[in-house]
Amino acid sequence: MSNVRVRFAPSPTGFLHVGGVRTALFCWLFARHHGGTFILRIEDTDQARSTPEAVELILDGLRWLGLDWDEGPYYQTRRFDLYKKGVEKLLADGNAYRCYCTPEELEAQRAHALAEKRVPKYDGRCRHLEHQPERPHTVRFAAPQEGVAVVHDLIRGDVTFDNAQLDDLIIARSDGTPTYNFTVVMDDADMGITHVIRGDDHLNNTPRQAALFKALGHELPQFAHLPMIHGPDKRKLSKRDGAASVTDYREEGMLPEALVNYLARLGWSHGDQEFFTVAELIQKFSLEAVGKSPAVFDRAKLLWLNAQHLKAADPIRIMRMVEERLVRDGIAIGADVADAFRRKVFAAACERSRTVPEMADMVASFYRDTVTIDPEAAKKGFKGEPLLVLDKVMEKLAGLPAFDQPTLEQAFQELMDETGQGLGKLAQPARTALTGRQVSPGIYEVLEILGKERALARLAAAKEWIRANPAG
């Protein structure tokens, strides 16, 4: 397939939510798979609700996800001359007409149609009126009134619409500003869009837009309407279920490649494969593999995928992200942190973390000079005779010739043999003393990362804490 041109066309009236991102992603993957062009268009004709801040959120979100565009962003508010020419052409060709009906008259028509159990569409009473320049008016498209419109959808197959149910939609408001369905067609034709990939909530717009394409003398693009995303209750996705903004997921510590991977699997599949790199998605993506049924957002699956991508990521990149979190939490990070240290910390924590904030919480104690012991952790970690246990651990560690994991593991094995106690009885008090927490990376990893001097200092400080807090 050659000369593929697709567009993502968000309205900057709010945040970029997961449904919009999934649409952008499928457009982007389709373009990249076919070596085509991905165009970004900002549909900002709703000037009362569109904001520059929302535009920046969209651009930042796409950049963070790596969905780079080849053309644009184009702004509809800068293209009004094009739309005006389109309206004039339709009027000149007899494919549009001026409507002089007032809002009150339109409401009365609607109420009358509903009372008679008819489709509440405009009745076309202004179709054949002479132009009356002094009267306020809108411009309506003269839609086909008979027969059927058949739209071939690349996902759903042929979809048939009864033309008798279609309204003469307004293409220009009384102030001259164009409306959504009209500007979309004008832009898609002008930009040479070959494939319109969008959510199936736009499916009912398609016969109207197809008729406009034909009336304007343009070939139709191919259409592909993506299934909606539902929450676990099979209803419209709510923010609680995952309809958050891209910014929210970034703040939660999701990796962009993990979110891309997850959203690609919402409605599209490639066998049983779950984990994909971006390169694999580009290589394998096809509209033929997009399902017709709504996809269900599963937050647990997203977290699982994020954990897999954390493990596969470059350790230094992840640890710099972790350190940014730690700085935000008030922990000073020196400029002399070595990459070797970062790699050790990453290896210790990545198996136990699903997100960057979880990892930051897990490893914060490695970056602090001293440890604050959590009283709740102390209740469980310092049971029995913690002072005696810590004394034996300190004595054993102080005499070690090396402080690597194999040596540390051998030392604890000797302690278990000498005391008759299991690893848990020895390691848990030491873990709490070293990290202030009950949950941490493995005890040997913790000790190796801290080093002998810091480890012994923390164990000694914990003994003082226990004496000052005898209840534990």
Cα–Cα nearest to 61, from 10, 4, 27: 10
Report the alpha-carbon distance of residue 373 to residue 438 in Å, rounded: 10
CA distance 194 to 76: 19
pLDDT in tens, 324-345: 999 999 999 988 899 999 999 9
pLDDT value of position 281: 98
pLDDT at 238 (0 to 100): 66
| Cα separations in angstroms, 302 against 191, 241, 242, 252, 299 | 35, 12, 10, 12, 5
Cα–Cα distance between 72 and 10 in angstroms, integer?
12
- Residue 236 pLDDT level (bands cut at 50, 70, 90): confident
Phi and psi for 161 in degrees, rounded to 5?
-125, 140
The whole-angstrom separation of Cα 232 and Cα 326 is 34
Give the ranges where 382-442 is alpha helix by DSSP (H).
386-398, 405-419, 423-435
Paired tokens of 174:
């009384």
Which residues are known catalytic residues?
A: 239
Which residue, 273, 235, 276, 238, is CA-closest to 259? Answer: 276
Averaged pLDDT, 415-443 = 93
Sign of CA dihedral 101, 104, 107, 108: negative
231 or 436, greater pLDDT: 436
3-state secondary structure of 296: strand
User: pLDDT confidence of 235, banded at 50, 70, 90?
Assistant: confident
Cβ neighbours around 249 below 10 Å, total: 24
Q: From CA 89, how far away is CA 316, in angstroms rounded?
A: 59
Check: CB of residue 203 under 8 Å from CB of residue 14: no
Distances (CA, A) of 441 to 6, 23, 335, 365, 457: 47, 39, 24, 11, 19
Confidence of residue 426 (pLDDT cuts 50, 70, 90): very high
Residues 154-202: tens digit of each pLDDT: 999 999 999 988 889 999 999 999 999 999 999 999 999 999 999 999 9
Q: Closest by alpha carbon to 305, among 264, 255, 258?
A: 258
In tens, the pLDDT along 34-66 reads 999 999 999 998 888 889 999 999 999 999 999
Q: What's the angle, vertex CA 416, arms to CA 411 and CA 417, rounded to 5?
A: 95
Q: Looking at residue 35, what DSSP letter applies?
A: T
Closest CA to 79 of 48, 44, 46: 44
Q: Is residue 162 left, alpha or beta, with left meaning phi > 0 and alpha meaning psi from -120 to 50?
A: beta
Biggest CA-to-CA distance, the chain:
105
Residue 463 sits at φ, ψ, to 5 deg, of -60, -40
Per-residue confidence band for 1, with pLDDT thresholds at 50, 70 and 90? low
Each residue's pLDDT tens digit, 107-117? 999 998 888 88
Residues 6+ apart with CB under 8 A from 346: 315, 318, 319
Rounded CA separation 456/395 (Å) = 9
Place of tokens 């941490």: 440
Give Cβ neighbours of residue 3 (< 8 Å, ≥ 6 apart).
36, 194
pLDDT at residue 287, rounded to an integer: 96
Checking if the pLDDT of 472 tops 50, the result is no
